[in-house]
Amino acid sequence: MKYKFFIPVFFVMLAFTACKNDTKNNTPETVEVDSADDITQNATKERSAKKEKVSFNDSKMEMVYRHYINLKDALVSTNTENASVAASELITAFNNAEAADTALKAAQNIVAANDIEEQRAAFVVVTTETENLLKDNVVSGTIYKQYCPMAFNNTGASWLSGSSDIMNPYFGDKMLRCGRIEAKIE
């Protein structure tokens, strides 16, 4: 008879203890989640911190390089408005450096484009022309020519960077780290 009383009490205590433990285990934990845009911005800030100082024999080339990097960073961040602004500033730098008409036209296409993919396509020409301007004008530091073989349906495309870290302007946050260092301009 004594056992009949203790058995229900035992099961009630067991159930209470089990529920109490479940409550502890189901307590939500705080988890920090970065959006793709946050990751791109953090990676851009990280890359900027590691960026090597590059000096040129002509201040006009320094301006071309600075505005080119601003344009590349806007494309990495998939920001069409910032890319347009940076391309507009690059046009001024190209004019001052007496860049080829193809460079000016490609930069103008970036300013006029409302679509990030159009801007990225024009950036290929901007990169080629910028490389031609800068390659014989670096006094100190290193510019990294980087390459993504998957850009533009696997035809590939290059870009210039002041850091050895890969920050892909052709894919942005979709494939931020896709690419390799192809050459150095020193």
Interval 104-143: pLDDT, tens:
999 999 999 999 999 999 999 999 999 999 999 999 999 9
Compute the distance between CA of residue 64 and CA of residue 130 in angstroms, rounded to an integer: 7
Low-confidence spans in the chain with pLDDT less than 70: 1-51
What pLDDT does 35 receive?
A: 32
What pLDDT does 173 receive?
A: 85
Question: Which amino acid makes up residue 66?
Answer: R
Compute the distance between CA of residue 186 and CA of residue 55 in angstroms, rounded to an integer: 10
Compute the distance between CA of residue 143 and CA of residue 59 in angstroms, rounded to an integer: 16
